[in-house]
Structure 1
């Protein structure tokens, strides 16, 4: 059975059992401070489990794209080494929100696996929660009884809290679970050892395929468990594993999900899959990782050095590294796998095809950049090897290996591989110490301790009224204390709120919460899943009273101007650059706006001017806002509303229109474009491959920018004493400057020629080697390297020059040798410069024929040059 048929059978079965099939949520998460990526199908339903949101449907099912790079059995560095673990995977799941519970969930799972898919019943096992003394929880007899209808006693296995009690995190909804395992061994193996002895023992052919989670408790911050008012079902089945079972394969990678990509890797590399364990692992790693990278980019996450972007960059580099190391692919190859991936998964996930050009560009440039990093790292590593072998050392410092990893992105395993070829090893203990110290710094920087929510009043769901009101009466429904960066803050939730929570690129509102007794500052407003959280550094003294929530109107209106300007900019970009332009990110701040968009070359000054003119023309036209708040999403698409990749939309959406600019948007906007006043672009830069960024200002900030530029022009006119012909005057100054620079260059060349000849004349001869050791005149100190190479070219035979100079008050030294002297082995520029750099309190490096050093102690320059001459003579006489 082909993969797409398996997926469709799942949908058809659960649709026939009154489940609504919902689309996959984006793999990259927003508005969830606890997660960067969707790591389970339940993530998009967290607010229902938490009681923050009422479900639209009591029964749903879907195929969810997930990403796991840490946790149980999902260590990134292990993916590809076995047959059934992945970073990106699909999870088939069904949910019940307060409807059916354990017995029905087990019945549905059994029916689908055995009747719909025809899986051999004798191969199936179920684990149940055995109970836990710490939490005072008994064995899950309810699940055991339900399974007893289908499975013999020995196929129902007690499982520990680790394996059979599911928790969302340290706090939140949780409950016992029942895993379904399958024994894929042949008949002889099954008879020789019963399958129940191998369940949850990491046997490659006795694997879990489905987990049925019974959510019935809430874990508090103090560790206690509280029964939930409603019980829920949350199941997740590994799609790749299920296809392996149904296609009779020994590995997930042998199914039609991965094989087209693996065949393409084999074609590009010229290495046959199955040739060796090393090359097979490399191909599996690449086949897994290309899916993760491609889906992340379609969901709006580009590789970067921060948070989720860093995870994606790390995964991409891991794939490139495996190709480079084991498949001899030293040129970009990953983007060449996209057609095979899209052929396999494009039908189920059409966003892959829609974003193919962008994915291709981003991956190619990331690969190209990292391959250069690999080359740089190898060059640095070769110098380290040379130094270690020269000193007859065998253990490379872990600090040095960590610097290669941290500064240059050079992976430890590749460092160890290259060193092992020379009989060297890394001090792993030192490396781990440095790595742990860096992790501790990162944890401390981002550390936030969150207390339990304290419920004050019941309220079904907080309502945002800020589209219509800047202030309103509210009461606090819940609050909690948080500790962030050694600061105590509080998060408040109201029954209704006029405060806009940071989302869609627009920053959160600030303002105050006040009554007759006190005024509480609202420092920021954020979304946490479906909650609107108001952040303050002061807890109200009377939490049960009524308050007036008041938004900072000036900041809100400025943010609204910039948000509407962002929509007009988006429209103008598509008109000037083409329909391929799509928003890839934005920041709407009261003072400025930033807009990231897909485009594959620099936007020219003429294009920027056209874009700016179009936006200002729309502003002058004073186009009225057309807003529809409760529009079915299909209707919104019919209206031509632009939806953003990576954003999750419900069945009902809000559309914002200004003329022919129509977008799905939850942000705040002006009533008519004339309120923006004026729009100016202040910069255009590259963000990453295929993504550009425009920064702009509007309203008063745009006026201020114009005044600053006007004042600057007036000041320049005063300086050149020609306000009327400023351009001509500046051109004349530049021409005069160029002429003077040319004259100065000529004088410097003559000066260099004279100084160079003086140095050559001062050369002494020791054992047939010409030696120059001198401090050059200050005018030439900034050209030590150039001067050194000229001396090397003009002195015939064996030579060595040691030049010292002062650059901006700091000492500099350059050492250069002839190739013949380097080959003799008597002298090495790197060793010499490091030895004499001690006198100037500095250090340096380079290559055996040329090295340089800088330092702090200018007074030691003369002694350093004298020491160099003595060392050279001693080495030559030895």
Structure 2
């Protein structure tokens, strides 16, 4: 059975069981601060389990894209070394929200596996929760055990501990016992030797869990206690790739048709043969897995970057690159070439791959190119570390610096050292790594109390589209503590005019006022699992009273101007640059807007001017807001509304229209484009391959911009004796400056030539080396030219030049002939780093040329005196 048929069979089966089949949610989370990525099938339905939303139907089935590379669920380092762990995987799931429970979940799972997929019952084992004697004091799940006895012999029903058979969403939230279904695909000979039940949950590659049936019946509170949920839910997850392995009768997920097309392409590109060399096989598995994770992340709107979720994606891709670099001998970009075969294989089930194919290829290729340059640079730096080391064990601190600052992989460092007969101080490296993790953990650590509920069963209503003020009641609150913000309180109201951060738009600020005149400031508003949360520094004194909630109208208005401007900008880009332009991200603040979009080249000055004019014509046209709320998604799309990749839309949506600009959007907007006043682009540049970014301002910010520019113009004219033609006057000054620079350059060249003759006469021969340490009066460029000029004449030169271009500035330059550096192990970088301490500074460079800077010119005589010590 092919993978496409396996997926379709699962979804059709549950559709026949009256489940609503829904598409996979985007893998990148939007309003759940506890997750970077969807890491389980239940994550997109979290709000329903928490009681913060109502599902379209009480029975749902899907195939959800998941990524496990950070936090509690982190399989990254195991990927490639075994046959069944992945970064990206599909989770086939069926869900019941307060509808059916254990009886139906178990019966249908057994029916699908044994009667539809025809899996032999004799290779299956199931587990049930055995209970716990800890603080929870939970009893064994006898209900599940008794149900399973109807389908499978008791000797194949295993009792599992809390770690394996009690599923929890996190430290808080819905949880419950679970039953896992395991499959034993070992050969008959292996089964005869070892009983399969002894290998369940023992990480055996061929006795693996394929389906987990979670029976959500408890809620974990912040104090660690459990309480019964008012409604019981079913949450199941079956690993699609593992299921394919079983049904296609192979011994590895990588031998299924999910991966084999990618692996064959890697073989072709790298001229290797999978299955012949263990290290190459590991590299091939790593790459075939990681390209899927990166491609799907980019398709869902998450580009590689240096922070947050983007850093995780960059790390995954770099891991793939270094495995190709090290074990497949690929020194040029090639992973981007795998996107084509991936798209052909999975594009039908996940159309976002087809739609974003070119962008995905461009981004991956640029990231590969950039990291390969990093590897080249790292190899040079590592050579310098090796050359300066006085022992055969390389410092873990130095290796960590190479890893942390330059992104050079530690395993590649260890491999190179091993090849050179050297070792790495692994303990020292681990100490530095742990220090970094502790710093990072401390910075991000958050503790959250349980909700204190004041009003039961109240569904929050957002009225902020129509009103900036309302009478509200606080329905619940909790305290949140973090290192970044200290103690904060989160408040939930029965209704709210405050817009929560989302769709690129910042959350509203404002205040609460009670009947006694006491004011409490709302510092931010966010949405978490479908609940609008208001952040304050303190709790109100009269928490059970009615409050007057007021949004900061000035900030909201400025933000609305910028948000509407992003819609007009999007329209302008598509009209002027082409319909290939798609929004790839935005940030809408009260002071500015940022808009990321797909485009293949830098915008010209004429294009930027045309875009500005396009937007400002629509501002001048005073286009009214035409808003459609709660309309069917299909109707909105039919009316011409644009939907964005990576966004999660419901059955009903809100459409925003200004003239011919129509977009699906939940943000707030001005009532008329004339309110924006004016639009001004401040900058345009690249974010990634094929992604550009425009930053712009509107309204008051434009007024301030023009005021500052006008003030600067008057100051310039004043400096130019109030000339009426300041541009012409500046041009004259530029021409004069250019002419003077040329004269100075020539004078410095002449000075350096004269100095070169003097220096030759001052050279001392020490141990066969032509040596000189002296102070010179040249700029950095002149010193470099002088050093390299002398280097052409001498093969055994060791120079140290010092200069003091200012009272509080000292510069050192060390030049050593390459032959000398290589033969005797001299290292210019080490020389300037050590001598730089004497001028209260530091520096570095290569073994033959390096520079250092400091703020203590008084240390120069001591530097010149000690330089000779390197030759003695």
Give the shorter-chain TM-score range: over 0.9
For 1:348-387, what aligned pairs fall within 5 Å after superposition? 348-387=349-388
Aligned to 1:630: 630
CA distance in 2 between partners of 1:301 and 1:825 (Å): 50
Q: How far is 1:865 from its partner?
A: 2.3
**Per-residue deviation, residues 544-595 of structure 1 (Å, max 9, x unmatched):** 2111111111111111111111100110011111111111111111111111
Equivalent position to 1:407, from 388, 405, 408? 405
CA distance in 2 between partners of 1:556 and 1:524 (Å): 12
Aligned to 1:588: 588
Aligned to 1:303: 304
* Cα distance change of structure 1 residues 57 and 607 upon mapping to structure 2, 3 Å threshold: same
CA distance in 2 between partners of 1:708 and 1:844 (Å): 39
Whether the 8 Å CA contact 1:320–1:334 is kept in 2: the answer is yes
Whether the 8 Å CA contact 1:714–1:723 is kept in 2: the answer is no
CA distance in 1 between partners of 2:487 and 2:819 (Å): 68
Determine helix, strand or coil for the equivalent of 1:41: coil
Aligned to 1:435: 433
CA distance in 1 between partners of 2:826 and 2:83 (Å): 54
Determine helix, strand or coil for the equivalent of 2:628: strand
Determine helix, strand or coil for the equivalent of 1:82: coil
Q: How far is 1:178 from its partner?
A: 0.4
CA distance in 2 between partners of 1:726 and 1:71 (Å): 59
* Cα distance change of structure 1 residues 412 and 651 upon mapping to structure 2, 3 Å threshold: same
Give me the TM-score of the superposition, normalised by structure 2: 0.97
**Per-residue deviation, residues 167-191 of structure 1 (Å, max 9, x unmatched):** 0000100000000111111223223
Aligned to 1:347: 348
Aligned to 1:492: 491
Deviates more, 1:133-142 or 1:613-622: 133-142
Deviates more, 1:290-299 or 1:178-187: 178-187
Aligned to 2:420: 422
CA distance in 2 between partners of 1:714 and 1:82 (Å): 70
**Per-residue deviation, residues 267-318 of structure 1 (Å, max 9, x unmatched):** 1100011111110110000000000000000111111111111110110000
Q: Give yes or no for the alignment of 1:172 onto 2:177.
A: no
Aligned to 1:858: 857
Q: How many residues align?
A: 868
CA distance in 2 between partners of 1:460 and 1:153 (Å): 46
Whether the 8 Å CA contact 1:752–1:780 is kept in 2: the answer is no
Aligned to 1:814: 813
Which runs of no fewer than 5 residues in structure 2 stay unpaired? none
Whether the 8 Å CA contact 1:630–1:652 is kept in 2: the answer is yes
Equivalent position to 1:803, from 794, 798, 801? 801
Whether the 8 Å CA contact 1:33–1:528 is kept in 2: the answer is yes
Q: Give yes or no for the alignment of 1:465 onto 2:463.
A: yes
CA distance in 1 between partners of 2:18 and 2:403 (Å): 53
CA distance in 1 between partners of 2:179 and 2:759 (Å): 84
Determine helix, strand or coil for the equivalent of 2:69: coil
Whether the 8 Å CA contact 1:596–1:692 is kept in 2: the answer is yes
Aligned to 1:720: 720
Determine helix, strand or coil for the equivalent of 1:175: strand
Deviates more, 1:543-552 or 1:566-575: 543-552
Deviates more, 1:290-299 or 1:446-455: 446-455
* Cα distance change of structure 1 residues 14 and 767 upon mapping to structure 2, 3 Å threshold: closer
Equivalent position to 2:481, from 476, 480, 483? 483
CA distance in 1 between partners of 2:60 and 2:174 (Å): 18
For 1:262-341, what aligned pairs fall within 5 Å after superposition? 262-341=263-342
Q: How far is 1:787 from its partner?
A: 1.3
Q: How far is 1:162 from its partner?
A: 0.4
Deviates more, 1:504-513 or 1:379-388: 379-388
* Cα distance change of structure 1 residues 813 and 590 upon mapping to structure 2, 3 Å threshold: closer
Determine helix, strand or coil for the equivalent of 2:237: strand
**Per-residue deviation, residues 198-256 of structure 1 (Å, max 9, x unmatched):** 21111111111100000000000111110000000000000000011110011000011
Aligned to 1:449: 447
For 1:154-303, what aligned pairs fall within 5 Å after superposition? 154-303=155-304
For 1:433-832, what aligned pairs fall within 5 Å after superposition? 433-485=431-483, 487-517=486-516, 518-764=518-764, 770-777=770-777, 779-780=778-779, 783-793=782-792, 795-796=793-794, 798-808=796-806, 809-818=808-817, 821-822=820-821, 825=824, 829=828
CA distance in 1 between partners of 2:226 and 2:491 (Å): 24
CA distance in 2 between partners of 1:375 and 1:73 (Å): 33
Whether the 8 Å CA contact 2:24–2:65 is kept in 1: the answer is yes
Whether the 8 Å CA contact 1:836–1:865 is kept in 2: the answer is no
Whether the 8 Å CA contact 1:781–1:804 is kept in 2: the answer is no
Whether the 8 Å CA contact 1:811–1:857 is kept in 2: the answer is yes
* Cα distance change of structure 1 residues 740 and 615 upon mapping to structure 2, 3 Å threshold: same
CA distance in 1 between partners of 2:377 and 2:364 (Å): 20
* Cα distance change of structure 1 residues 19 and 460 upon mapping to structure 2, 3 Å threshold: farther
Which runs of no fewer than 5 residues in structure 1 stay unpaired? none
* Cα distance change of structure 1 residues 222 and 740 upon mapping to structure 2, 3 Å threshold: same
CA distance in 2 between partners of 1:834 and 1:496 (Å): 62
**Per-residue deviation, residues 411-453 of structure 1 (Å, max 9, x unmatched):** 1111111111122222222211111111111122222211001
Q: How far is 1:482 from its partner?
A: 1.0
Whether the 8 Å CA contact 2:39–2:73 is kept in 1: the answer is no
Q: How far is 1:714 from its partner?
A: 2.5
CA distance in 1 between partners of 2:306 and 2:835 (Å): 38
Whether the 8 Å CA contact 2:388–2:830 is kept in 1: the answer is no
Determine helix, strand or coil for the equivalent of 2:581: coil
* Cα distance change of structure 1 residues 269 and 224 upon mapping to structure 2, 3 Å threshold: same
Determine helix, strand or coil for the equivalent of 2:631: strand
* Cα distance change of structure 1 residues 812 and 661 upon mapping to structure 2, 3 Å threshold: same
* Cα distance change of structure 1 residues 849 and 623 upon mapping to structure 2, 3 Å threshold: closer
CA RMSD of aligned residues (A): 1.9
CA distance in 1 between partners of 2:242 and 2:764 (Å): 77
* Cα distance change of structure 1 residues 820 and 472 upon mapping to structure 2, 3 Å threshold: closer
**Per-residue deviation, residues 91-127 of structure 1 (Å, max 9, x unmatched):** 0000011110000000110111111111111111110
Determine helix, strand or coil for the equivalent of 2:42: helix
Determine helix, strand or coil for the equivalent of 1:178: strand
CA distance in 2 between partners of 1:251 and 1:83 (Å): 5
Determine helix, strand or coil for the equivalent of 1:668: coil
CA distance in 2 between partners of 1:432 and 1:217 (Å): 39
Deviates more, 1:359-368 or 1:797-806: 797-806
